[in-house]
Structure 1
Amino acid sequence: MSSPPLRKPSRWVQWTVVPLLILVPIFYVIISAEQSRDGGEQKQKQAAATTLTYLWPTKVQRRIYEVPIPARSRPVAYLETNNWAASSLYVQFTTSQGGLDTFLAQVGSSRAALRDGAVTVSRKQARTVRWAFDSGQHWAGVRLEQHGDKPDHDITVDLSSPDAPVVYVVSTMDFG
């Protein structure tokens, strides 16, 4: 027994389905190419940055450099620098007292470890991002050195406004 002949699809189906089968992949390719191009331009801008960018660092950057910025911190700014010997992430943010305590706990420190009057960010590091640690502010800082492939942290906090401490962090990974 032979099977019945296949029924030819109606004209409207041919005129609708066939163009869709062609156009949908074309639009997908165009949109993907545009997104890819935009992503590359954004990465180039970030790599070429020489001053702080007033955005949150990416989750990947925060994880690699172990800089857990507390929720509701504003404004947040960062700069990443790289060379053959080291990579550094410079981060500045304003937070609350609770946010400061949370941040310090997450990097393995506490408010008690902050040395009153200490600016632990070096002059060279400060010049890189144009931070000025003037003598009229209430500074406190701590340097956290870690072993192995973990980053070191230079943390300086401006406690002049107790309800809104400003945190300056330089997280450095040495390759030497």
Structure 2
Amino acid sequence: MRWTVLPLLVLVPLGYVIISAQQSRESGESKQLEAAARHLTFGYYPSSLQQRIYQVPIPYGAAHVGYLETNSWSTSVLYVQFTTTAGGLDTFLAKVGTSRAALRSGSSEISRSQAREASWTFSGPGPWSGTSMHKNGDKPDHAISVDLHDPDAPTVYVVSTVNFRYGFRDS
């Protein structure tokens, strides 16, 4: 009995440590690849933490989701692209604090430099609509462009910017 129990007391914790170390290593590699990304990463949603920080609530059932996060000492930016339903667009806009009424027709509110960073071009079939929102304090700014060429499946482009330069205070 002793020869059965003693190896189990050693081997079970050892096996746990080995499995835990491997999972930790794999997690670090995926984070490293994500941090090194220079283009939109498709097929994955931004993490729930990223969605909370940048306040970009991607609607349930969104397709063709892609994102890119860039960081510097004073600014962090999340670029997100997804295709959703008409109801999903309304839900998304409501959750970020706006509505379809705020979308300006024929306008892409994402700047050329921001679009270049995410490899976006806003010269497709359209029609394009967009809005931008500046928020004081610790809330991110949003620039949103929507391709409405298929009103039942609009494609949404979002640039969410968190600026740390002035701290978290109302201005």
- Scaled by the length of structure 2, the TM-score of the pair is 0.94
Q: How far does the alpha carbon of each residue in 1:117-148 deviate from its partner, in whole angstroms, 9 at most, with x for none?
A: 11001100000010010063210000011010
Q: Taking structure 1 as reference, are residues 135 and 17 closer, same or farther at Cα in structure 2, changes over 3 Å only?
A: closer
Other-structure match for 1:169: 158
User: Which amino acid in 2 is paired with 1:130?
Assistant: S
User: Which amino acid in 2 is paired with 1:127?
Assistant: R
Q: How far does the alpha carbon of each residue in 1:38-90 deviate from its partner, in whole angstroms, 9 at most, with x for none?
A: 11111110000000011100000000000000000001110000011200000
Q: Does 1:63 align with 2:52?
A: yes
User: Which amino acid in 2 is paired with 1:53?
Assistant: T
Other-structure match for 2:16: 28
**4+ runs of 1 displaced by more than 2 Å?**
none
User: Which amino acid in 1 is paired with 2:152?
Assistant: D
Q: Which has the larger radius of gyration?
A: 1
User: Which amino acid in 1 is paired with 2:64?
Assistant: P
Quote how far apart the aligned CAs of 1:14 are: 1.4
Percent same amino acid at aligned positions? 60
CA distance in 1, matches of 2:135, 2:4: 63
User: Which amino acid in 2 is paired with 1:133?
Assistant: F
* Alignment of structure 1 residues 41-60 onto 2, 5 Å: 41-54=29-42, 55-60=44-49
1:121 equivalent among 97, 100, 110: 110
Query: Which ranges of structure 2 fall in alignment gaps of 5 or more residues?
Result: 166-171
Quote how far apart the aligned CAs of 1:15 are: 2.2
CA distance in 2, matches of 1:161, 1:136: 10
* Alignment of structure 1 residues 6-155 onto 2, 5 Å: 13-54=1-42, 55-134=44-123, 136-155=125-144
Q: Taking structure 1 as reference, are residues 135 and 18 closer, same or farther at Cα in structure 2, changes over 3 Å only?
A: closer
Question: What SS class does the counterpart of residue 10 from structure 2 fall into?
Answer: helix
